[in-house]
Structure 1
Amino acid sequence: MLKLGVLASGRGSNLQSIIDAVEAGELSVEIEVVISDNEDAQALERAAKHQIEAQYVGPEDYNNNQDFEQAIIDDLERNDVELVILAGFMKLMSPYFIEHYQGRIMNIHPSLLPAFKGLHAQQQALDYGVKVSGCTVHFVDQGMDTGPIILQAAVPVKEDDTEESLANRILEEEHRIYPAAIKLYAEGKLEIEDGRVRIAK
């Protein structure tokens, strides 16, 4: 069974959607460890509640970024993690980390990439006046929100939307497509070819 390691910095709602899919029998994977760079992250509480190993790895405890990332790699390797899931992990990982898990790191972003990369994607969408936004699950490469796209879901933008209301509607779709993307990976149905993800039938 595919072994996951989840990196999260905040409340962990996407982590919860993956846990729920596993517990409902919809997703045949094992979440081996949840790691956070934020000691107060609700994601760590969610993990502990479901008897999943929860680890805090603080950047301030290490001399440099590579030592910090190596500590995370050590935790992931100790748990035999095969696929790394970024679930609201707010630290941009270096090429050192990404090369270590090349093709085995997924992220979810609250826009229809390649539009509105980086922080506050929902507000970016509102400021630009788009009529449709959404979310994207992608493999992580060395750019910011630039890796090969796995799944996307569209969400209409309403005239009276605020950043919060749009974010909440997008989040519902995030909770649906992130477990779906992990399932495709677990079933061996994803292949990266010329920078594109091809999904086997």
Structure 2
Amino acid sequence: MLYAKRVHKELTRCRDREECGISIALHDGDDISHLTGTIAGPTDSPYEGGTFLIDIRLPSEYPFEPPKMHFITKVWHPNISSQNGAICLDILKDQWSTALTLRTALLSLQALLSSPVPDDPQDAVVAQQYLHDYPAFVATARYWTETFAKSTSTGMEEKVQKLVEMGFLEDLVRSTLKSVDGDENMALEKLCSG
């Protein structure tokens, strides 16, 4: 059974303190088992300046089982699949503990962006580039950040404000925009349909 009280407490803490460039919101509607996490690309990394969205699904046994997470935003990283956003991180598998929270999991993902582990890759092609042609890896990671992670943050506040002025709730607007990678027209369509 999903411990809803704990999840609500975790969401409130993340909403109240958006420090370190992380936040969590309901993905769509009131379903607390499906969330969207946001992390800022760490400074002094090829991901700096990017905003990365993470799909979070909580199993019915959460917090006794780890959350299921994958990157929505495409990212070039040895421990993250460039194809489907799958993540290779021990705390999301066998090293999960009930003492960990969604916030600590997102902070761990942010740290992973700063410190790749190419010897235990999720994406072998990226890991090989990291190990054998590091300058090309950095250039590719920066390019992907510019292409995929900066477009969602550009003008996001203006989009939120416009949709809120149309009468939609801010939290719902933010989660809807995140679910459609910042596409204002698709968000409006989704908001109007349900």
User: Normalising by structure 2, what TM-score?
Assistant: 0.28
Which is richer in helix? 2
User: Normalising by structure 1, what TM-score?
Assistant: 0.27
